[in-house]
Amino acid sequence: MQPDPVLSEIREIRERLATKFQYDVAAIGRDARQRDAAGDRLVVRRKPRPAVTLTSRPTKTA
C-alpha cells in the first residue's frame, strides 16, 4: 500500500503544531480559535437538532 500524501501532510502539520506548543492541547486549541476568528471565511453555526429518543420516534402501524 502506498502512503497517502494528504495524510502525510496532515500528520506533518499536526506534529509541527504539537512541537510549537510543547504538546499542550489547550494551547493548540486556543491558537486554532484565534486563527479562526482572524480568518476571512464565513463560519455557519446552526442550532443543534433535537435528539431522537425511543419515545419521540414515530411508530409503525401495520
Q: Which structural domain, as residue segments, surrounds residue 14? A: 5-38
Name the domain count of the chain: 1
> Is residue 30 domain-resident?
yes
Is the predicted pLDDT of residue 26 greater than 70, yes or no?
yes
Is the predicted pLDDT of residue 58 greater than 70, yes or no?
no
Q: Contact at 8 Å (CB) between 30 and 21?
A: no
Whole-angstrom distance, CA of residue 61 vs CA of residue 58: 10
> Is residue 52 domain-resident?
no
| 43 against 24, higher pLDDT | 24
pTM over 0.85, yes/no: no
Mean pLDDT (whole number) for 36-58 = 82
| 20 against 52, higher pLDDT | 20
> Is residue 13 domain-resident?
yes
Whole-angstrom distance, CA of residue 62 vs CA of residue 18: 57
In the three-class reduction of DSSP (H, G, I as helix; E, B as strand; rest coil), residue 35 is classed as helix
